[in-house]
Chain A
Amino acid sequence: AQSVTQLDSQVPVFEEAPVELRCNYSSSVSVYLFWYVQYPNQGLQLLLKYLSGSTLVESINGFEAEFNKSQTSFHLRKPSVHISDTAEYFCAVSDAAGGTSYGKLTFGQGTILTVHP
């Protein structure tokens, strides 16, 4: 079984400030890691993912996340946020080992990022 913990339910920041959204996971098998974003009244959109290779992954809109296996973390960071980044962010993990559980996502509780002017 896997679990994901997002340590902050809400993160308020000012525009152009840096932000970090924390995510820790537990799993007995190797995993794939994801960050999804949900804007108000919209579905989830994939922000970035770690499957293998470089532990630092980036999105096209300036977010990055680093897979830290020893700390079982996959924190999301952005050096300078914009008003438009206001949304709810979900960290998720899936089983990389294949089998019947392949592709199933286990989500964290979500972190609401609010960017103030």
Chain B
Amino acid sequence: GAVVSQHPSWVICKSGTSVKIECRSLDFQATTMFWYRQFPKQSLMLMATSNEGSKATYEQGVEKDKFLINHASLTLSTLTVTSAHPEDSSFYICSAKQGLRSQYFGPGTRLTVL
């Protein structure tokens, strides 16, 4: 099946710094990628939808200046958490979709902000 990778799998950073998370579709081209956030014992919440070559569409309540998303190619999307704070600590998961087919999820990135 289709494989989606994320890097890094976990990251610890200091408050005020920025962190970049990569999401790659390894064996297919993804026209659309989604970014989710999952807090402990809670469901996945969609943060934004990114389409290759265009600006991301953010869900209500998600700060686009804080969570920068770039979908520069059909196999790579990045999420940058700018000026991270402890409340941004969470599990970030991406998914990739090719056309009308199912979404394939990455393994997630655990971010801890100290």
Contact of B46 among A41, A45, A49, A105 (CB under 8 A): A105
Q: How far is the CB of A60 from chain B (nearest CB, A)?
A: 12
Q: How far is the CB of A68 from chain B (nearest CB, A)?
A: 22
Residues of A within 8 A of B25 (CB): none
Q: How far is the CB of B95 from chain A (nearest CB, A)?
A: 8
- Count residues of A near B (Cβ-Cβ below 8 Å): 21
User: Are A43 and B4 within 8 A (Cβ)?
Assistant: yes
| CB-nearest residue of chain B to A94 | B103
User: Are A46 and B102 within 8 A (Cβ)?
Assistant: yes
| CB-nearest residue of chain A to B9 | A41
Given contacts A109-B42, A109-B43, A110-B43, contact A104 B34 (CB under 8 A): yes
Given contacts A49-B102, A100-B57, A105-B103, contact A43 B42 (CB under 8 A): no
User: Are B97 and A44 within 8 A (Cβ)?
Assistant: no
Residues of A within 8 A of B104 (CB): 46
Q: How far is the CB of B9 from chain A (nearest CB, A)?
A: 9
Task: Tell whether A18 is near chain B: CB-to-CB under 8 Å.
Answer: no
* Assembly CA distance A103 to B107 (angstroms): 19
* Assembly CA distance A49 to B95 (angstroms): 16
| CB-nearest residue of chain A to B106 | A43
* Assembly CA distance A106 to B95 (angstroms): 13
Contact of A106 among B46, B57, B106 (CB under 8 A): B46
* Assembly CA distance A109 to B105 (angstroms): 17
* Assembly CA distance A36 to B103 (angstroms): 10
Task: Tell whether B11 is near chain A: CB-to-CB under 8 Å.
Answer: no
Question: Which residues of chain A in 50-99 are interfacial with respect to chain B, using CB atoms and an 8 Å cutoff?
Answer: 90
- 6 shortest A-B CB distances, which residue pairs? A44-B105, A43-B107, A43-B105, A107-B43, A107-B44, A109-B43
Residues of B near any A CB (own CB < 8 A): 4, 6, 32, 34, 41-46, 49, 57, 93, 95, 97, 102-108
Residues of A near any B CB (own CB < 8 A): 4, 9, 34, 36, 41-46, 49, 90, 100, 103-110
